[in-house]
């Protein structure tokens, strides 16, 4: 089919190879190369169409945006033109980021403005939630770990998107990666320019983004980088609840969304979301990196909070105190040197050491600031200690101890030594194994659904036929691991080491994994790739 781009055409659908529209007589081949196939949607400033580029071999698909403002006044037309030009400049400025559509063309023809972009085949997050249901905490964390680096990239180029929402995030069929689309409302710098009344009216009517996803400062035409973080936070609530902002109540005094009773997440993750959704810009996360840094603390928070049984004297002796599951250093030098996920991990190790001594078990070795905590003594060391001095020895657990703890409701086994443990067929779904040592562990046929293995050492682990669906394996070491027949559907494997891992017969449908990772692993014709197809590279 050929689709007519004349906004006033009464019947825009034509036969596939027509040169002119049968209804209005308009030429159907735009710029002698683009044949429009169908309409994809229409907004306040323009319509979007699926087209094919007949000037290129294979006639690849593309997306064409046509300037089509809903108003006819001069200032609205001018604003629409500026937004289109801004989107083109921004897409060119961002460059060839793999998760942003490439700008292919930009031109004016017959007093109409057109922008041609790379076509992204896939479903939006909005469509995914409607067809597949809401996501759990681990899956939403995976979403954040993918979208926040995109924000880091565009914010680093002084670009504010201003319209982040589930409908503008596409899960690309080719590799299951998220792609951020629709840069039509972008602001390419943070400024406080004073607008005249007509411009302010046009901006307020059209360029503020989507109500509910846009924070107050953006609605007031003063967007900042943190405005995008708010929109990502609202998107997280949508993924967890399936409810758009208009379906949620809000506090009439503060304007804050009321969402916490509608979700089931850990206290720490709720705290991260709460800070993303702060109405006050000053109280909100300022950068995407800040959010990622707090997400990295997650594996240690529960252990830190549970380990807080010592007196205030003990806390001061170790140089820290804890409030609301957060770490606060009583010694400013400790705060300066340990304000990172690694520093908090060391604090966690120290608290575990004290708790282990109280329980009469083997205690790990750890470092807090400039103090080394061991199972026998506490000794001062220089802050410039070698990495080996500052390393931690994870707490050892045997199979019975792990299963008993899990049966009693414990789900946090971060930073534990589980090497060589034999637990075939065990049910350990929803468990936190972040940064644990699990070398040569036998979990064949185990249920590990929605579990966190971020930064875990799974070198040569037996995970054959295991259920790892929606598991978080970011930065995990899976070198030489046996994953034959494992269910890795929708697992998050970004930056995982898969050298020599056996993925023959594994199901990787929807998994976050690169072709480079697959190239160093073992696959066969039974391996189900991220796009759902079986076969080799």
Q: Which residues are catalytic?
A: 163
Please enumerate in sequence order all residues whose Cβ is within 8 A of that of 211, keeping only pairs 6 or more positions apart, or say none: 219, 245, 246
Q: How far apart are CA 448 and CA 241, in angstroms?
A: 23
Find the Cα–Cα–Cα–Cα dihedral 266, 261, 134, 249, rounded to 10°.
Answer: -140
Q: How far apart are CA 288 and CA 283, in angstroms?
A: 14
- Enumerate helices (H) and strands (E) in the chain, giving the number of each: 15, 18
Tokens 């703890």 correspond to: 405
Q: Are strands 416-417 and 395-396 parallel, antiparallel or unpaired?
A: parallel
Please, are residues 240 and 265 in contact by the beta-carbon 8 Å criterion?
Answer: yes
Q: How far apart are CA 455 and CA 473, in angstroms?
A: 7
- Determine the 3-state secondary structure of 137 from DSSP: helix
Q: What is the DSSP letter of 371?
A: E
In the chain the first and final C-alpha atoms are separated, in Å, by 34
Element (H, E) at 225: helix 225-241
Among the listed residues 105, 106, 137, 139, the one whose alpha carbon sits nearest the alpha carbon of residue 125: 139
CA-based torsion, 249, 254, 255, 256: positive or negative: negative
Q: How far apart are CA 141 and CA 472, in angstroms?
A: 9
DSSP 425-438: T-B-TT-B-TT-B-
DSSP 430-473: T-B-TT-B-TT-B-TT-B-TT-B-TT-B-TT-B-TT-B-TT-B-
Q: How far apart are CA 415 and CA 350, in angstroms?
A: 12
Among the listed residues 263, 258, 274, the one whose alpha carbon sits nearest the alpha carbon of residue 239: 263
Q: How far apart are CA 136 and CA 475, in angstroms?
A: 21
Token code pair at residue 470: 């929606």
Token code pair at residue 66: 């046509």
Q: How far apart are CA 287 and CA 301, in angstroms?
A: 22
Rg (CA), the chain: 27
Q: How far apart are CA 182 and CA 166, in angstroms?
A: 12
């Amino acid at each position: 089919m050929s689709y007519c781009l004349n906004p006033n055409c009464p019947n825009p659908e034509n036969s596939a190879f027509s040169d002119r529209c049968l209804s209005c007589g308009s030429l159907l081949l735009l710029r002698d190369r683009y044949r429009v196939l169908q309409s994809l949607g229409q907004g306040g400033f323009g319509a979007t169409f699926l087209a094919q580029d007949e000037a290129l071999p294979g006639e690849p698909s593309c997306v064409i945006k046509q300037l089509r403002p809903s108003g006819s006044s001069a200032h609205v037309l001018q604003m629409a033109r500026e937004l289109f030009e801004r989107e083109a400049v921004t897409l060119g400025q961002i460059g060839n980021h793999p998760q942003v559509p490439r700008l292919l063309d930009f031109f004016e023809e017959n007093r109409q403005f057109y922008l041609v972009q790379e076509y992204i085949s896939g479903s939006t997050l909005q469509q995914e939630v409607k067809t597949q249901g809401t996501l759990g905490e681990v899956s939403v964390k995976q979403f954040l770990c993918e979208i926040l680096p995109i924000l880091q990239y565009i914010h680093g180029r002084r670009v504010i998107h201003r319209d982040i929402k589930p409908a503008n995030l596409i899960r690309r069929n080719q590799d299951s990666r998220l792609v951020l689309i629709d840069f039509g409302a972008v602001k390419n710098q943070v400024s406080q320019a004073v607008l005249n009344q007509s411009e302010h009216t046009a901006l307020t009517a059209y360029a503020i983004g989507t109500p509910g996803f846009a924070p107050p400062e953006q609605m007031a035409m003063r967007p900042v980088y943190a405005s995008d973080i708010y929109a990502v936070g609202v998107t997280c609530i949508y993924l967890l609840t399936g409810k758009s902002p208009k379906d949620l109540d809000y506090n009439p005094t503060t304007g804050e969304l009321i969402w916490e009773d509608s979700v089931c997440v850990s206290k720490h993750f709720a705290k991260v979301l709460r800070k993303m959704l702060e109405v006050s810009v000053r109280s909100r996360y300022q950068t995407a990196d800040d959010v990622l840094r707090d997400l990295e603390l997650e594996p240690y928070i529960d252990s830190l909070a549970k380990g807080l049984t010592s007196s205030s004297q003990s806390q001061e002796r170790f140089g820290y105190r804890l409030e609301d599951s957060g770490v606060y250093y009583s010694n400013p030098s400790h705060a300066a040197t340990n304000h990172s996920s690694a520093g908090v991990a060391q604090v966690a190790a120290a608290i575990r050491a004290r708790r282990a001594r109280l329980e009469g078990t083997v205690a790990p070795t750890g470092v807090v600031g400039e103090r080394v905590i061991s199972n026998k003594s506490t000794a001062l060391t220089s802050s410039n200690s070698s990495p080996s001095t500052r390393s931690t020895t994870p707490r050892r657990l045997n199979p019975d101890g792990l299963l008993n703890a899990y049966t009693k409701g414990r789900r946090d086994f971060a930073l534990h030594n589980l090497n060589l443990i034999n637990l075939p067929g065990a049910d350990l779904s929803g468990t936190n194994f972040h940064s644990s040592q699990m070398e040569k562990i036998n979990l064949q046929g185990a249920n590990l659904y929605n579990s966190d293995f971020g930064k875990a050492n799974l070198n040569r682990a037996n995970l054959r036929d295991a259920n790892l669906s929606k598991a978080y394996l970011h930065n995990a070491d899976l070198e030489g691991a046996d994953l034959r027949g494992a269910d890795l559907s929708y697992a998050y494997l970004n930056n995982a080491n898969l050298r020599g891992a056996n993925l023959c017969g594994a199901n990787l449908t929807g998994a976050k994994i690169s072709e480079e990772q697959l190239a160093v692993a073992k696959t066969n014709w039974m391996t189900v790739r991220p796009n759902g197809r079986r076969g080799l590279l």
